[in-house]
Amino acid sequence: MECQTVQTQLSAWLDDELSEATGAMLTAHLTSCEACRREWRQLTALDAALGNLVAPVPMGLAEQVAAKVRRPRRRSGWQSAALAACLVLGIALGGTMARSFYGGAAPNEAGAEVASLEVFHDFPQGSLGAVVASYQPEEGNGNHQ
Ligand SMILES: [Zn+2]
């Protein structure tokens, strides 16, 4: 095995990417070749140094990340507020429109409820709806004997 071939394969050997047979040939070469042994030592030293390397953290990174995490939440808060406003507006408009739909005759909320329920009391004669609407449980129908 030539020195150039050995030295191009040292990195792969360090990463455990070579077969056992190739590794054995490299080991045999390193025991007899000082130049390749020096190359191997430099490579392992560099690998160890890179493994211990700690990436420097930029100043204020934590604050920047926290700000970016907070920003979408604020936006979703605005969306919730807008949704709540739409709901309130819809309920208010719905109430106003319902009151004008029923002629505005209802003097209070209870009256409005009665007015709206009366719409459903207009059933054809003899239909099930007419029977249900005419049913009045308070009067009793002879269950007590
Ligand atoms: Zn060599």
Higher pLDDT, 60 or 131: 60
0.75 surpassed by pTM: no
Q: What is the pLDDT of residue 72?
A: 60
70 token code pair: 């907070």
- For the cut 90, the answer to whether the pLDDT of residue 12 exceeds it is yes
- For the cut 70, the answer to whether the pLDDT of residue 109 exceeds it is no
Please give the distance, rounded to the nearest whole angstrom, from the Cα atom of residue 19 to the centre of ligand 1. Answer: 19
pLDDT digits (tens, 9 = 90+) for 37-89: 999 999 999 998 888 887 777 888 888 888 888 766 555 677 788 888 888 88
Please give the distance, rounded to the nearest whole angstrom, from the Cα atom of residue 20 to the centre of ligand 1. Answer: 19
Please give the distance, rounded to the nearest whole angstrom, from the Cα atom of residue 15 to the centre of ligand 1. Answer: 19
Please give the distance, rounded to the nearest whole angstrom, from the Cα atom of residue 1 to the centre of ligand 1. Answer: 8
- Residues near ion ligand 1 (CB < 5 Å) are 3, 33, 36
Residue 143, amino acid? N
Angle at 25 between CA 23 and CA 27, to 5 degrees: 70
Show me where the domains of the chain are located: 3-51, 73-133
